[in-house]
Structure 1
Amino acid sequence: MNRQEFLEFCKNRIVFLDGATGSNLMKAGMPAGVCPEKWILEHRQVMIDLQRAYVEAGSDIVYAPTFTGNRIKLSDYGLSDEIVSVNTQLVELSKEATGGKALVAGDITMTGRQLKPIGDLDFEELIDVYKEQIRILVDAGCDILVVETMMSLQECRAALIAAKEVCDIAVIVTLTFEPDGRTLFGSDPESSAITMEALGAAAIGANCSTGPDRMEDIIRKMASVTSIPVIAKPNAGLPSVDEDGNTGYDMDEELFTKEMKRLIDKGATIIGGCCGTTPLFIKRIHETYSSVDPSSIRDPEGNPIPRKMVGRRYLSSERRALSFDMDDLFMIVGERINPTGKKKLQAQLREGSLDLVTEYAESQEKEGASILDINVGMSGIDEKEMMLTVLNEVGTITSLPLCIDTSSAEVMEAALRIYPGRALMNSISLEKGKAEKFLPLAKKYGAMFVLLPLSKEGLPKDQEEKISNINELYDLAVKAGLGKEDIVVDGLVATVGADPKAAINTLDTISYCYENGFATICGLSNISFGLPERMNVNTAFLTMAISKGLTMAIANPSQEMLVNAAFASDLLKNKEGADGRYIERMARYADDTLKSPQPKDSNIAPSTGDDFLAIIKQDVLKGSKRSIEKDTSKAIENGIEPKAILDEALMPAINEVGELFDKGKYFLPQLISGAEAMKLSIAILEPLLQKDKDDSEVLPTVVIATVHGDIHDIGKNLVALMLKNYGFNVIDLGKDVPKEEIVKAAKENDAKVIALSALMTTTMKEMKNVVEYARSQGITAKIIIGGAVVTPDFATEIGADGYSADAAEAVRVVKKLLFE
């Protein structure tokens, strides 16, 4: 079933998914720690009976139990060579169970290895891993694909790109969100939905991690920015463990069914259940909602469910969505990350330094840019390699959407392929071969693009030809499967000093585009080339262009006069929110708080110890793994005491990183980058610190492990890294560790803390087993627990001494237990 067929299948109805697999298999006798796929194949009837029950309960789509059937996951069980047999048999099993009465979805999830720069997995390698499994699933006869329980938007993209490159069947995607409404990697519901729809997903939604009562806002936000069906597959509430060690949930089928109405009322049209749900749950929601027509649902005021509005345009980064229409506030596309005419930036890029790039990214966001233009085209470098490097670097510094600016189709594709959001392409024209190469890239990767009205002969000779070029390019875009909402037309600004009608012609172009539903953009600086006091001309021209409907401009947001005039123009046009934006900007200037950070000049050496310490602190805050080793060594060479670097730079910096993470200003990538940067600095300092360290300064030992049956370790690895950075002696036992091994390590190393992690509800109860076994063996170490499904109440239930929601909190909990 292809994407269009799937959308027809879902039209004007509620579609029902199945319920939980793992928690039901555990009830049926599947032990912790085994490979689920292998166990199912050894107990086929258990799975067949479960899936038949789901079909009888009303499931329209049943997930084949191929959840961890990728090569990387199977290798944890020594089964990677059996990948074809395992996945094929599991799809055949589901097809036998459903008997043609429901669609069978090939199930795909995360691999457990993290993408660079957080982990060691290359993006293309991940795509290949997904391609391998998808080919097998399609050959085995699955009807659609589901990418589920995803915590990384970039990994969702890898799976979707892989699917598009090997088949044409529909792909639906669900992510798992934390209590703060973001994924573990910081993606919000809007950016996730925008990115996935643009890339070609047939439906988008959320599953696992919470019950329906806490998924309401996520579904609402997704529905408001997408036109494809929205999926809700929540757990049966929150998990708990009873006296016998069995995992249960706080919602029965009646309460679950009642609460699911919240999600339907917010826009979910594909519904099912995740952990803790059974065929009875699906039967109840099917009986209750199968006759509902989603188009008839109204909010308390009688309005339809808010969905993606016709005429709105959407861009996104991995962590932020940008929505705008023809009459929204004017936007600035920050132009500074472009080496043209910038000798210092050119020199740094040739040296491999990104100091100015990071400074420009930070300052432009602070000064009001809505989008950042990224251009690294220059001689003396590998443009593709540098573009990818800069995109990765900028992505950790700012959450603004990016405009990819290159004339090379090869560089553009490489950039769009790796960019974890919906980018703006700059630009596509009628110049020889350009539209033919670039329009398919915009369609494949779901990008918006700048339409540059140049012909094969170059600049249009008059206004009539310019309009003709716009319409010809638009027609080509429509043939490629794109529309007006995917296009931003460049007004093509010429120099008024050479052509007195240059400004008038551009303003006429903007008016034409506004009247015909095209968003517009322009580069301002050409208009004043060769004239004195150019800013006066640029500013006057910009205010005139905004009055004609200009959507955005490529400009330097640090140009105070220009930006102030733009914001004032919006105010005078009575655009919604313009008054508040203008007043806020003026107040910030009055308070002298909008000063641009000064770029770090690599040619000027720090003059004081405080300067060295400030630089190292900034390296941690920015996660500057490229420079922290050099800066740490320079500080030592200039007489800064290693202990001072640790106490006055590294520790305050990592504390601040943790605080920013807690406040939702930093997310997992920044937390890991900061910790990894600090680790590099400590590696230089450690030999020097050991010389002066006495026994009283040695911090206690912590034994850490992911419990038996659970092979997820990203959270555990980060906790271990953070504890090491704080000076604790950390014994990391890895993942899927039996309780006997954990207790043995605690005894042998005289551990004062045992830290346990679990990601799955099916392995939570193993934490209780570890606690009970440790106490029976006389272990007095404090035991703390954490993981996506773990709660403070659960920690209390099983007798743990502490609970941590994340790595930053884990350090505080350990310190409190040991020293307060």
Structure 2
Amino acid sequence: MAIIRSLSGTMPFSDRSLLAGIMKIRQEVFEAISRIAKERIMIIDGAMGTMLQREHLQEADFRADILKDHPKPLKGNNDILSLTRPDIVYKIHKLYLEAGADFIETNTFSGTAIAQADYQCEHLVHDINYRSAQIARKAADEIYEQTGVRRFVCGAIGPTNKTLSISPSVEHPEFRNITFQQLVKAYGEQARSLVEGGVDVLLVETVFDSANAKAALFAIRTLFEDDGIEEVPVFLSGTIVDLSGRTLSGQTGEAFLISTRQGRPVAVGLNCALGAKEMRPFIESIAMNTTALVLCYPNAGLPNALGGYDERPEDMAAALLSYASDGLVNIVGGCCGTTPDHIRAIAVAVKGVVPRKPPTSVYSGYMMLAGLEPFVIGAHTNFVNIGERCNVAGSRRFCNLIKKNKYEDAIGVARKQVENGAQILDINMDDGLLDGPSTMTKFLRLIASEPDIAKVPICVDSSNFEVLIAGLESCQGKCIVNSISLKEGEEVFLQKARLVKRYGAALVVMAFDEEGQATDTERKYKICERSYRLLIEEAAFDPCDIIFDPNILTIATGMEEHSEYGINFIEGTRLIKENLPGCFVSGGVSNFSFSFRGIEPVREAMHSVFLYHAIKAGMDMGIVNAGALPLYTDIRPDLLKLCEDLLWNKDSNATEKMLALAHDLVSGSKKPQTECDSWRQESVEKRLEYALVKGIDSHIVEDTEEARQDTSKYPRPLNVIEQPLMAGMAIVGDLFGSGKMFLPQVIKSARVMKKAVAHLIPFMDKEREENLKNKITVSNESPYQGTFVIATVKGDVHDIGKNIVAVVLGCNNFRVIDLGVMTPCEKIIKTAIDEKADFIGCSGLITPSLDEMVHVAREMQRAGLSIPLLIGGATTSKTHTAVKIAPRYSGPVIHCLDASKTVVACSSLCDPKTRDEFLADIAEEYEEVRIEHYESMKERRFMSLKAARSRALKLDFTHFQPVEPTFLGRKAFKKFDLNLVVPFIDWKPFFDVWQLRGKYPNRSYPRIFNDDNVGAEARRVFDDAQVTLRRLIDKEELKASAVISFFECCAYGDDILIFDHETRQHTATLFGLRQQCDKEYDQPCMCLSDFVAPGDHSNPTDYIGAFACTAGIGSRELCNALEKDRFDDYSSIMVKALADRLSEAMAEYLHMQVRRELWGYSLDEDLGTADLLSIKYKGIRPAPGYPSQPDHTEKMTLWRLLDVENLTGIKLTESFAMEPAASICGLYFAHPQSQYFAVGKIDKDQVEDYALRKKESVQSIEHWLAPILGYDVGK
């Protein structure tokens, strides 16, 4: 049984133990597949249709004697050949088995009554499937007898020619030409016949619609669990229709996996539609997201112009070998266009390669749901909003729309819910005047045609179980069923639960039993505990698919017994979460405030207060009106107090008081929210605080001046800074530190603070002059926590991260002295001494900056400093800081990931109570890091450079004809139109700059806008960015330029020789580094030169391109003006972030132009922006200083070859950073098998060889390549 469990992954052990008593399980097959799959990669056969076409069969072959009088033509009905020409089918099976196939598929791809109806052959379905299974069984058993190698027969179950998720009529999106139950019947008939005929496995394949697959899996589970059919392993294979990574019905691969887990497939994967090269990223995703075996059998490449397939066996085998070598697959083979020759080549290629080891669990402890996209709920997610407005019982407007048949407007309600943040949609059609099942079906079919709605999972909500089933049969994703309960007893409860499980849904269970609804805490818990045990022990439910609703009941009804309903729910939730592991808690939030229906401000406030406490107790999700929940902290105090009193039953008169307040709210005598300008009526201190917290600068100068003039409170201008302004910034710091405020808001607050201080500076200067003149001494005690000197180190021009740290430190009451970019070590140290600094912070983005930071540490030691040195920047790491920097300086050295970590470190160091313990923890941690580092170096194994070169990636250049570019030499773009690149902007790194990181599944753009925590702020910053972007481009505040060049070249060992296109003489060398870390299974050790045809100094054999581009011309001047003249760090960081995004987009755009036109090696490319950003095109553009060639000094060669500085204005610093910072350079490789890779660590023999080739000293090479050295130069 343990073997079966490890294969199924999604089926708990107890489930099979439970079913073993009532089911017959062909356990020997499960065990055999499990055993072999652990030992080696298994092989599935190739295309049956391709081989049948080679037989040139005629109509007579499809008829024979048994169908000679059939009324319809049968040619093309390949499945019928198992009856009319079994000899040919048998021969093809034998050919695949002899080629090395472990699994052969029966000739039954179209073996359902639905597919056979096209030929009027529905009556032959049993015979077709039964006979096909027997033919394959005979062939497999004969080969087994001959070779002693076990072979398996897969009963092929195709998708049919119908789809449950897509209407065949554009005019009627709700129409379907098939039902779920019709598919269940057809699939059940086919599966039964296949098992009776002797197949070892049922293979549900080429799934283009998960709803169809769910019907097939439902039918199969019914056969096994209800009909007594012997259980065999189930394989499941989807098909991704194009490079978007989605099925025909719109689901992502991960959503497809989640939606079909209930089938408990032993193997899951993809087949058809794509070739092996194109399928790889989608197989990678599946391999990461399943505990089952991974199955992959692609087509023989993409179809040619005539619909045929041209990929040669050796090419396909090489592609699948890469899958195998990278541990992605357990079973491989071929689909359309493949032949026994392909299968033979694949079998030979993967022989001896260790198979993928499936993970023991995926998302253990998480609830997995899906619409078109996956939605995973667990420890990483915040409270989940289930949109409530698509409920005819709860929304009068929605009900009226449905009853009036205004479905388009009703769809708009659903869309608005999603736009407002609903992560799941609750759909309820319970109304006495509606036909619940048909109305539910129609509405769900309609939203299935709206991808922006269908992306989220559905919660099918009804008190009528028939309606729930109708909903489940209309959704291709994994739904929630809301709800069932014990009110009809355990037997009915379990019958419904098992059926819901077979449909593959999660389940809401109400706290309701035979005695009625639970209202007190104890009964709520006891009913849920009893339900939990039944579901786990009797129905084999995954605890993570169980959601309890302990009944949110209405309070403030005037009845005393209702007063503690809120408390009872919260305490019941706490007990459930503490004692019933794995389950989730939900509830219908609007019930809580039903006494105040029609008074929305009161209801919304009550919901917010209720959720504030319920979530703390463990409530995971709730049915709410997404977008209509005020922040707990924004509720006006009198309303908040009454809500709290009602919830906790603190005041027996709270209901009457709330009714009085509600009357005021409705009559308009009071507003539920503070009027927009009411803060202007507060004291000047409160106004300053409000302006700082909200980032409002419209009144800051006048308010600061008002405070300054109040000399009784603030005798000196400095006192205004020390007291009200610092008090406001302290609140900002606290809010940021507690996660209640986000970085863009903090930076806006800093802008307000700077404007206030700027107003006071002239008065402070005047005071200082008068004091000197009158010889008056005043206290100069600093109001700050400490002084922080911060700089981007010498040779580096990147400063976005540094500027953010400076702003956040300022908001946390630190005096920050920002020395800018390209800062020499001497200036950093001198400034720290002169300003009596408490901290030094060094930042850098490029790898040479790491060595400069080591230099700063050494010089700080030599200068006798002892203040903390903080290290940050994209290229830095805790390991490098601990191993390379900290040992050079006796003072504290601390690596800080981001601004918030820097504040924590500085605050801890400033507090005498925490400083010693903090430093002791850092010292202990870094010592452990150093020990682990040096131990890992002992364990690290390198090949000799000679051995690594012998394992170079060997591409076949004998049959490769390189495409000649449209020109050789340079092409400059001195006035580049940035409007062209805006559509190519990748926005995710933009949000990373602002430290706005959504949680799964809202990490990427535009999903980040749906994130409960950062979504609203992300939208605000994005909107600001759009305005700024238009201004920067329209007013040409940012300018762009670029240069591209193509050269003749050849590979010469690890280097690439460049030739002058006029003289054809060798004119430059691009030096390469090769992977050298020891690898298993004969994986290649790659170098960039592997992607270029080999030659010598007199023989160019190939072409290469190079480029440099920038969209940052003018950014430094603009940002300096914003920072120094307008005190506007927010706008400055915005400009720099957008310049970076535009430069990256420009590189993407230019590369596209190179592929399609300028070089023209991919003329037929037609990729969307998402695919471009996902690098789904041919060719690569690696950059010097990055993983494929980590040597920044190689930029010098590019600058000389392309005349970069003259043609674009981009300069190189002494550390080979580019100025402007928003600049990119790199090479273009066109070979279709070129790929990105990381050189990784290298050993000393390669360093010495590299130095010899470059004619430089080993010490110089070690300096520039320090981050990738596999040995310690200092030891």
> CA separation in 2, counterparts of 1:306 and 1:217?
22
Cα distance change of structure 1 residues 530 and 351 upon mapping to structure 2, 3 Å threshold: closer
The 8 Å contact of residues 539 and 562 in structure 1, kept in 2 or not, is answered as yes
Residue 178 (structure 2) aligned to one of 110, 118, 122: 122
Distance in 1 of aligned mates of 2:458 and 2:737: 25
Structure 1 residue 373: Cα displacement: 0.4
Q: Is 2:256 the partner of 1:192?
A: yes
Deviations 1:348-383 (A, max 9, x none): 433433244212111001101000001111112221
Structure 2 residue aligned with 1:143, among 174, 180, 200? 200
In structure 2, do the counterparts of structure 1 residues 114 and 471 end up closer, same or farther at CA, with 3 Å as the change threshold?
Answer: closer
Over 3 Å counting, the alpha-carbon distance change for 1:81 and 1:253 in structure 2 is same
Contact kept? 1:452, 1:489, Cα under 8 Å: yes
Tell me what 1:508 maps to.
571
Q: Which runs of 5+ in 1 are unaligned?
A: 297-303, 594-791, 793-801, 807-820
Pair 1:455-2:886 in alignment: no
User: Which amino acid counterpart does residue 109 of structure 1 have in structure 2?
Assistant: G
Distance 1:277 1:377, change over 3 A: same
In structure 2, do the counterparts of structure 1 residues 583 and 85 end up closer, same or farther at CA, with 3 Å as the change threshold? closer
1:204, CA displacement in angstroms? 2.3
Residue 252 of structure 1 is matched in structure 2 by 313
Partner deviation per Cα, 1:218-237 (whole Å, 9 max, x = no partner): 12222333333221111232
Please give the alpha-carbon distance, in whole angstroms, between the structure 2 residues aligned to 1:407 and 1:213.
49
Over 3 Å counting, the alpha-carbon distance change for 1:39 and 1:432 in structure 2 is closer
2:461 maps to 405
Does the C-alpha gap of structure 1 residues 106 and 537 become closer, same or farther in structure 2, counting only changes over 3 Å? same
**Is the partner of 2:473 in helix, strand or coil?**
helix
> Are residues 1:59 and 2:86 paired?
no
Residue 65 of structure 1 aligns to which amino acid in structure 2? N
Quick one: which amino acid aligns to residue 275 of structure 2? Answer: G
Pairing 1:345–2:398 present: yes
Change beyond 3 A, Cα 1:564–1:260: farther
Cα-to-partner distance string for 1:320-362 (whole Å, 9 max, x where unaligned) = 2111213412210001111225444334433433244212111
Q: What does the per-residue CA deviation read over 1:239-287, in whole Å, with 9 as the maximum and x for residues that have no partner?
A: 447xxx8944224236524534326736432222212333344344445
Once the two structures are superposed, what CA deviation does each residue of 1:567-620 show, in whole Å capped at 9, x if it has no partner? 999945999736974444146479999xxxxxxxxxxxxxxxxxxxxxxxxxxx
Q: 1:505: how far off?
A: 3.2
Does structure 1 conserve the Cα–Cα contact (< 8 Å) formed by 2:324 and 2:354?
no
Q: Give the structure 1 partner of residue 326 of structure 2.
A: 265
Alignment of 1:314-713 (within 5 A): 314-317=368-371, 319-397=372-450, 398-399=453-454, 400-433=456-489, 435-460=493-518, 462-478=520-536, 479-497=538-556, 498=560, 499-515=562-578, 516-530=581-595, 533-561=602-630, 571-572=739-740, 577=998, 581=1011, 582-586=1013-1017, 588=1019
1:226 and 2:295 matched: no
Indicate conservation of the 8 Å contact 2:390/2:427, yes or no: yes
Matched position secondary structure for 2:623: strand
Secondary structure of residue in 1 paired with 2:517: coil
Paired amino acid for 2:198: G
Q: Distance in 2 between matches of 1:563 and 1:254?
A: 61
Aligned partners of 1:342 and 1:462: how far apart in 2?
28
Q: Secondary structure in 2 aligned to 1:133?
A: helix
Q: Distance in 2 between matches of 1:502 and 1:84?
A: 59
Shift of 1:293: 5.1
Deviation readout 1:622-672 (Å, 9 max, x if unpaired)? xxxxxxxxxxxxxxxxxxxxxxxxxxxxxxxxxxxxxxxxxxxxxxxxxxx
Distance in structure 1 (CA, Å) of the matches to 2:54 and 2:534: 57
The TM-score with structure 2 as length reference comes to 0.43
In the alignment, what sits opposite 1:165?
222
Instruction: Indicate if the aligned counterparts of 2:317 and 2:349 stay in contact, CA closer than 8 A.
Output: no
What RMSD in Å do the two structures reach over aligned CA positions? 3.8
- Aligned residues of 1:6 and 1:202 also touching (Cα < 8 A): no
CA contact (8 A) 2:519 2:551 kept: no
Contact 1:546 1:569 in 2 (8 A): no
| Structure 1 pair 277–521 and aligned structure 2 pair: CA distance change class (3 A) | same
Q: Which has the higher contact order (CA 8 A, sep 6+)?
A: 1
d(CA) in 2 for partners of 1:58, 1:153: 31
* 8 Å contact kept, 1:229–1:270: yes
Residues 146 and 260 (structure 1), Cα distance of their counterparts in 2 relative to 1, 3 Å cut: same
Secondary structure of 1:208's match?
A: strand
Look up the equivalent residue of 1:34 and give its one-letter code.
G
How far apart, in 2, do the equivalents of 1:536 and 1:377 lie?
A: 28
The answer on whether the counterparts of 2:116 and 2:125 sit within 8 Å (CA) in structure 1 is yes
Q: Which residue number in structure 2 is paired with residue 215 of structure 1?
A: 279
**Alpha-carbon distance between aligned partners in 2 of 1:107 and 1:488, rounded to the nearest angstrom:** 36
**Residue 248 of structure 2: SS of its match in structure 1?**
coil
Helix, strand or coil at the partner of 2:235: strand
Amino acid at match of 2:521: Q
Query: Cα–Cα, structure 1 residues 185 and 5, in superposed 2: closer, same or farther, change >3 Å?
Result: farther
Quick check: 1:235 aligned with 2:299? Answer: yes
Structure 1 length normalisation: TM-score? 0.65
**1:758 match:** none
Distance 2:120 2:262 in 1: 37
> Does the C-alpha gap of structure 1 residues 286 and 508 become closer, same or farther in structure 2, counting only changes over 3 Å?
farther
Displacement of 1:39: 4.5
Q: Which secondary structure does the structure 2 equivalent of 1:234 belong to?
A: strand
Give the drift of 1:195. 1.1
Would you say how many aligned residue pairs link Structure 1 and Structure 2? 590
Larger radius of gyration, structure 1 or 2? 2
Match of 1:203 in 2: 267
Does the CA-based 8 Å contact 2:500-2:507 persist in structure 1? yes
CA 1:87–1:237 in structure 2 vs 1: closer, same or farther (change >3 Å)? same
Pairing 1:313–2:372 present: no
Secondary structure (helix, strand or coil) at the match of 2:386 reads strand
Kindly provide the amino acid, as one letter, of the partner of residue 547 in structure 1: K
Check conservation: 1:6, 1:170, Cα contact below 8 A: yes
- 1:537 Cα deviation after fit: 2.3
Which amino acid is 1:502 matched to? Y
Task: Please tell me the residue identity of whatever aligns with 2:503.
Answer: Y
Does structure 1 retain, via aligned residues, the 8 Å contact 2:316–2:342?
A: no
Farther off after superposition, 134-143 or 229-238? 134-143
- Deviation (angstroms), 1:132: 3.2
Cα distance change on mapping 1:248 and 1:376 into 2, 3 Å: closer
Task: Give how far 1:216 is off.
Answer: 1.7
Residues 174/334 of structure 1: CA separation in 2 closer, same or farther (3 Å cut): same
1:469–1:18 distance in 2 versus 1, CA, 3 Å: same
CA change 1:121–1:507 in 2 (3 A) is: same
Instruction: Give yes or no for contact 2:998–2:1015 (8 Å, CA) kept in 1.
Output: no
1:806-817 matches, cutoff 5 A = none
Shift of 1:560: 4.5
Question: SS of the counterpart of 2:425?
Answer: strand
Output one character per residue of 1:171-221: Cα deviation in whole Å (capped at 9) or x when no partner: 322122122111222121011111111244443211012222221221222
- CA gap 1:41/1:591 in 2 versus in 1, 3 angstroms: closer
Letter matched to residue 532 of structure 2: Y
**3-state SS of 1:418 partner:** coil
The alpha-carbon distance between structure 1 residues 232 and 391, as it changes in their structure 2 partners (threshold 3 A), is same
Long gaps (5+) in structure 2: 1-23, 60-74, 145-149, 170-175, 224-228, 636-734, 743-995, 1025-1155, 1157-1163, 1169-1275
- Contact 2:529-2:576 within 8 A present in 1 as well: no
